[in-house]
Chains A and B, each alone.
Chain A
Amino acid sequence: MSAISVENVWKEYGDQVVLENLSLQIADRAFVALVGPSGCGKTTFLRMILGQERPTRGRILLDGQPLPPEPGPDRGVVYQRYSVFPHLTVGGNVMLGPELRGARLTGRRFGAARRRLADEARAMIAAVGLAGSEDKYPAQLSGGMQQRLALAQALMMRPRVLLLDEPFGALDPGIRADIHQLMKRLWNEVPMTAVMVTHDLREAFTLATRVIALERLRDRPEERERYGARITRDISIWPPRVAGQRTSFDPPEGAEPPL
């Protein structure tokens, strides 16, 4: 379960109200697309779920529990840029999360644990279509490949919520279509709830189960400071899309359940 509830959340920077009284329930395994004009606070909203920013008023719950005040492994993120580490190879980037989680002192795995992790990473790299690029550095990858890598890196942590801030905004249309395929498959196969900010309405309706628009209702210059953006549209895609019930993290059919 990873339902998000947003209760009467306000966000202000100094005198400027950015988000005004948002309330929202996001169901487990939903795929929410967040759209709206530039500067209306989409990134701010995402950052609050991430734990990078705190609401000025109101609260956000994840499965009924208040969000921890800082980012953590239960919420993964993919940005438009700076999502992967330039000093690590593809393999290094994908293995980083589990390495950090497993070795709290050195941040590195060795021996059998490392080999097991490397196998897992290779499978994940293949799943996002980057097989064969394990030893390349991000600067040697195209933009689309870098975003695939960012997805693989985030998913290695099996986050309950995946947050995406215009992840495919810089990609050209053909590559974007390919990565949409991948994104759909991952959402189906990985037990997570996704929230994606996008400027591309087509992308929103292609991927999401629900499209939410944020907008400032009062946007005259003298009103801009005092009134923030609100939810102006909340569209559930019909016919409803439902995430796959069997996920790639489940044991194979007929296998012993893990102890």
Chain B
Amino acid sequence: MAACGGPGNPRAAAGPSTVLAYIIRRLFAVVVMLLVITLVTFGIFFLIPKWVGVDPATYFIGKQADPASLEGIRKKMGLDDPILVQFGKFLWGLVAGRDYANGTDVTHCSAPCFGYSFRNEQAIWPVLTDRLPVTMQLAAGACVIWVVVGVGTGVVSALKRGSALDRTLMTVALAGVSLPIYFTGMIALAVVVYGLGWIDGQYVPFGESASGWFGGMLLPWVTLAFLYAAMYARMTRATMLEIMGEDYIRTARAKGLREPVVIGKHAMRSTMTPVLTILGMDLGALVGGAILTETTFSLPGIGQAAVKAISDKDFPLILGVTLIAAVAVVVANLLVDLLYAVVDPRVRLS
């Protein structure tokens, strides 16, 4: 970060090979981190119940469990193995797939085997891959809206600081930050779907009907985006105000640049840097917002699966969702770091 004193070009060192090495190093760290997360999550679901005296096998059966069913589950899941053996098998399953066997009753779970839901008799990975696109569509659409609206609002508010417009926008943003998604979502449904009847508001896959898909995704997008747009508006406004007081903005003006250029180029360039990095983090950690949005709008995404899994005590599925969420966060972090190096020349990859 610090200024580089001597002559010569220190950036020349950060050539493609350095970047590649950096990425490889980081990827390695990512793998290690995911292993740790997997182990911890695994421990939570398989070890803690044992400590508190609950048979983890009961988690795999939706309802009151007959001793024979519990025994069957224990066998099939290998719950009697030491925890590290179980963990090893789980990891092996991730890489090479595995069989869950209880005598003649063999269930194959092909790689990557994220576990097997005995609640629904389904391998977890297909459930996740079936639902992930919906969550990603939700995230992508909402993200576009919240960045455009949030940043736009923040900039306008900062430039009109103290005006009635600024106060109104910031009040709305405060509401957006503090209102729960379920609340805003229900109001959106009440007005647009039940009340005005403009759209049907139910999820339809894109492949079935593009317009139906759009109608189904619109309110979830807007609802989720509202929360984040509010946060981004507040953040952008604060950043913008800070940036506008920077000396280099004064320099830009001193050059005789027009005000739109000063703001649009010089101020925005600096404002967007923290926004971009936070955006990366937020997208990675979106599962929380997705859970609420998908529940409210009954979108068949990962978040909805998580809620179902929790209410059904479908622990393999919870584990799967947790891991996917962890991967998302970790990968987002990596991307953010890479992106940061791109957008902020002062950061060097090391």
**Are A and B subunits of one complex?**
no
